[in-house]
Amino acid sequence: MQKNQVSESSAQRYRFIQSNEHPFSNMTVQLRLAKLLKGVNSTMFILAVCGRRLFPESRIVGGNRSSFGKWPWQISLRQWRSQTYLHKCGAALLNENWAITAAHCVESVPPSDLLLRIGEHDLANEDEPYGYQERRVQIVASHPQFDARTFEYDLALLRFYEPLLPFQPNVLPICLPDDDETYVGHTAYVTGWGRLYDEGPLPSVLQEVAVPVINNTVCEAMYRNAGYIEHIPHIFICAGWRNGGFDSCEGDSGGPMVIQRARDKRWILAGIISWGIGCAAPNQPGVYTRISEFREWINQILQF
């Protein structure tokens, strides 16, 4: 199947294997954040806090359930369905006013039908250390060159009606890349509430998986080995295992692929989940929109 034949179910991706959840540790970070806000403008504050975890890290082995607050930029993008808002895609928090997702998640959807839930962890549990925040969408800014046939330029920015500040330990922005690092050979982490396997169940707890970033030429060759001819230009970034087993799946499109930057240990938004064929099949890596290629466009939109 060609990329331009990828269905919505096979394009919205994520695969995880569950393990034990890391316990929450109490922290008195809200007071420190409130003090930081005084006398600091918004841009400086975002740069000060982005990509920094405020919770202890838990051990990762393959794909598993994430611990509370571990990925505080993760968003559940929800769409109105007859009587309620239901999870549709992932998204990532950029600042107090904007989130980023995949354009195919919001194509032909009026902003009034969208709801962003930020700081969520377990969809089935209201009793969590910190509550989530919800925001309606005022503006949907999809990339003007988005091609629904090829999934190229698969990015959209979403502006909230009301800002999120002050932040809290489970609601923090992700950093944008500040260079053109390709990340080939780096370990990336992808997160979401997508299906646990192709046509499988949806989890209630946010899931995570580690995948290696691979060269686009190698990515195309892997797809050829699987019987597919795919053109994967540099605006995409590939990540996945040759033998499969760990991947994104339906319900995770638009969510973040993040990498920890070596120089300062901050987490960087390297990609947004865009498309794939099936979930976790051998020689069929996940394909993500490469954020470093869109820094200028993103920063222009964020000024509004």
Residue 57 placed within a domain? no
Rounded to whole angstroms, the Cα distance separating 90 from 244 reads 22
**Using 50, 70 and 90 to split pLDDT, how confident is the model at 180?**
very high
Residue 143 placed within a domain? yes
pLDDT at 211 over 70: yes
Model pTM?
Answer: 0.82
**Of 174-178, 224-228, 253-257, 280-284, which range is least confident?**
280-284
Q: List, in order, residues 6 or more apart from 249 with CB less than 8 Å away.
A: 12, 13, 14, 15, 194, 195, 196, 197, 198, 200, 279, 280
Whether 253 is catalytic is yes
Catalytic residue chosen out of the listed positions 248, 253, 274, 292: 253
Q: List, in order, residues 6 or more apart from 227 with CB less than 8 Å away.
A: none
Q: 212, 187 in Cβ contact below 8 A?
A: yes
Residue 300 placed within a domain? no
pLDDT at 9 over 80: no
At 249 the pLDDT is: 62
Catalytic residue chosen out of the listed positions 104, 142, 252, 274: 104
Write down the residue that tokens 């922005």 correspond to.
173
Check which CATH number belongs to the domain holding 251 and give it. Answer: 2.40.10.10
Rounded to whole angstroms, the Cα distance separating 150 from 166 reads 39
Q: List, in order, residues 6 or more apart from 7 with CB less than 8 Å away.
A: none
Q: Look at residues 173, 207, 239 and tell me which one is the last residue of a structural domain.
A: 173
Residue 267 placed within a domain? yes
- Which is it for strands 114-118 and 74-81: parallel, antiparallel or unpaired? antiparallel
User: Mean pLDDT, to the nearest integer, of 251-274?
Assistant: 93
Half-sphere exposure of 292 (CA within 13 A, CB side): 14
Residue 297 placed within a domain? no
**Nearest CA to 166 among 299, 49, 51, 303?**
49
Instruction: Check whether residue 150 and residue 205 sit in a common domain.
Output: no
Instruction: Check whether residue 89 and residue 164 sit in a common domain.
Output: yes
Q: Look at residues 114, 139, 173 and tell me which one is the last residue of a structural domain.
A: 173
Write down the residue that tokens 């569950």 correspond to.
18
Rounded to whole angstroms, the Cα distance separating 116 from 78 reads 6
**Using 50, 70 and 90 to split pLDDT, how confident is the model at 245?**
low
What secondary structure letter does DSSP report for 264?
Answer: T
pLDDT at 265 over 50: yes
Q: 226, 281 in Cβ contact below 8 A?
A: yes
Whether 22 is catalytic is no
Whether 231 is catalytic is no
Instruction: Check whether residue 144 and residue 208 sit in a common domain.
Output: no
Residue 28 placed within a domain? no
Q: What are 184-199's pLDDT values in tens digits? A: 999 999 999 877 666 6
pLDDT at 246 over 80: no
Instruction: Check whether residue 113 and residue 153 sit in a common domain.
Output: yes
Catalytic residue chosen out of the listed positions 142, 154, 247, 292: 154
Q: 255, 27 in Cβ contact below 8 A?
A: no
Residue 250 placed within a domain? yes
Instruction: Check whether residue 210 and residue 163 sit in a common domain.
Output: no
**Nearest CA to 120 among 153, 163, 97, 87?**
87
User: Structural domain of residue 215, as residue ranges?
Assistant: 186-292
Instruction: Check whether residue 269 and residue 214 sit in a common domain.
Output: yes
**Count of structural domains within the chain:** 2
CA 153 to the chain's CA centroid: 16
Instruction: Check whether residue 163 and residue 198 sit in a common domain.
Output: no
Residue 27 placed within a domain? no
Q: Look at residues 173, 196, 212 and tell me which one is the last residue of a structural domain.
A: 173
Rounded to whole angstroms, the Cα distance separating 259 from 268 reads 5
**Nearest CA to 4 among 158, 141, 136, 152?**
152
